[in-house]
Amino acid sequence: MDDANTCSTTSAGRLRQMAPREALGTDELSQLWRVESGALRIDSAPRGERARFVRLALPGDVIGVERWAGTDDSLALRALIASRLTQVHATGEPMMQILMETVVVGHQRCREVVSLRTGPVAKRIKALLLLFAQNPGEGSPGSTVIECAVPHIADLSDIVDAAPETVSRVFGSMRDLDFLQDRRPQKACFSSQALRSLEIVAGMSAPRPHRPPLLSGA
């Protein structure tokens, strides 16, 4: 038997289902996980300090490499939407491939954070919705409109670095412009093709004008 085959292995372990806003436990953070579906936020959480958003983990990403490598980055991981993880066991060459893959994906996620936290707030939210459109839920057969899970408003505002009221106003503007068909708690219904074509215009995050109620008999 080839010795290389005996010391280079990879296998999938247990399945971990996560509810929205559920965090991985301390013991789980020392293990490797692959995101099968959903999305997680990775925060820097030094002891005694407020956790700060670092980047996203999306389907296909492997998380937990920092602890596996022995670096103490004081990271916290929490599901943004319902998510499913699979534990990863790897040694030898497969482990090296996972590490290389993680470096490449990490750079990509860091670039995404720049687009999620700079520029007009409407542009940031557009970028975030398009990321979540890659992980859609239900949609009508033959329709380009998809329904996908989106994070809680507190997480949305934290990720795009904007006040919750501003985020809500942008969603309202997108709905008024027919780029967002429906917006419910942690759900959004939209056409990713139409959203990509959305030109960000001034005022999308501004307070919406008050409309006085119609008087009876008017």
Tokens representing residue 78 in the block: 């929490």
Instruction: Kindly tell me the sign of the dihedral angle through the C-alpha atoms of 102, 188, 165, 82.
Output: negative
Per-residue pLDDT averaged across 183-205, rounded? 80
pLDDT at res. 193: 83
Q: Is 80 exceeded by the pLDDT of residue 217?
A: no
Per-residue pLDDT averaged across 171-192, rounded? 85
Q: How far is 192 from 146, CA to CA, in rounded Å?
A: 8
Question: If you average pLDDT over every residue of the chain, what do you get?
Answer: 83
pLDDT at res. 200: 74
Annotate 92-116 with DSSP letters as a single string: HHHHHHHHHHHHHHHHHHHHHHHHH
| Domains located in the chain, CATH noted | 3-117 (2.60.120.10), 121-196 (2.60.120.10)
Among 203, 182, 207, 199, CA closest to 123: 199
Contacts of 140 (CB under 8 A, 6+ apart): none
Distances (CA, A) of 88 to 5, 18, 75, 140, 166: 18, 16, 19, 35, 39
pTM listed for this prediction = 0.81
Q: Maximum distance among all alpha carbons in the chain?
A: 91
If 0-12 CB within 10 Å is exposed, 13-18 middle and 19+ buried, where does residue 153 land? Answer: middle
pLDDT at res. 203: 65
pLDDT at res. 85: 97
Q: How far is 85 from 13, CA to CA, in rounded Å?
A: 10
Instruction: Kindly tell me the sign of the dihedral angle through the C-alpha atoms of 115, 121, 122, 128.
Output: positive
pLDDT at res. 119: 94
pLDDT band at 8 (very low <50, low <70, confident <90, very high): low
Per-residue pLDDT averaged across 79-101, rounded? 93
Summarize pLDDT for 13-49 with one digit per residue, the tens: 789 999 999 999 988 988 899 999 999 999 998 888 8
